[in-house]
Amino acid sequence: MTAEEKRVYFLLKVVIYNYHGIDQREQHDLEESSRQMDAQAELDWATQFVAKDYITAFDRAREYLSVPVGDYPKPKRLELIDMIWKANNLKGYVTEMEATAMMRLAKDWSVEKEMMELVLR
């Protein structure tokens, strides 16, 4: 995985986790993922990106992600949506606000229908 792909991965997780405030399980997931991927710098970057302004973090992330993710093949875009859905479900549920945010990303990336199919499984 390239450094850019790691940034995308961690930005998605950090932004979605921050919708309700990162809990201990999610923080552990971020730290463990960072260790496994040798990506502490990318996790730090994503955390700082969100911390600049929590209120606008999601919209800024959507804008930032439109460039690299827009060029990914459709299966890769869907894989990213599936990854954040599963990661966010660590707590046993996904809130309506989080689901809406993921649907907005799926729509941005033209994988909305496919995401719905994943969710319904």
Quick: pLDDT tens for 77-101: 999 988 888 888 887 888 888 888 8
Does residue 107 carry a pLDDT above 90?
Answer: yes
| Reported pTM | 0.87
How far is the CA of 24 from the CAs of 29, 30, 55, 75, 91, in angstroms?
Answer: 9, 10, 21, 31, 10
Residue 17 and residue 75: Cα distance in Å, rounded? 23
Q: So what's the pLDDT on residue 95?
A: 83
Residue 74 and residue 92: Cα distance in Å, rounded? 27
Share of the chain above pLDDT 90, in %: 56
* Higher pLDDT, residue 83 or 41: 41
Residues in contact with 93: Cβ distance below 8 Å, sequence separation at least 6, in sequence order: none
Residue 66 and residue 25: Cα distance in Å, rounded? 28
Continuous segment of H or E residues that includes residue 62: helix 57-70
Domain boundaries, given as residue ranges, for the chain: 3-120
Does residue 71 carry a pLDDT above 90?
Answer: no
Q: Mean pLDDT, to the nearest integer, of 33-60? A: 95
How confident is residue 22, by pLDDT bands cut at 50, 70 and 90? confident
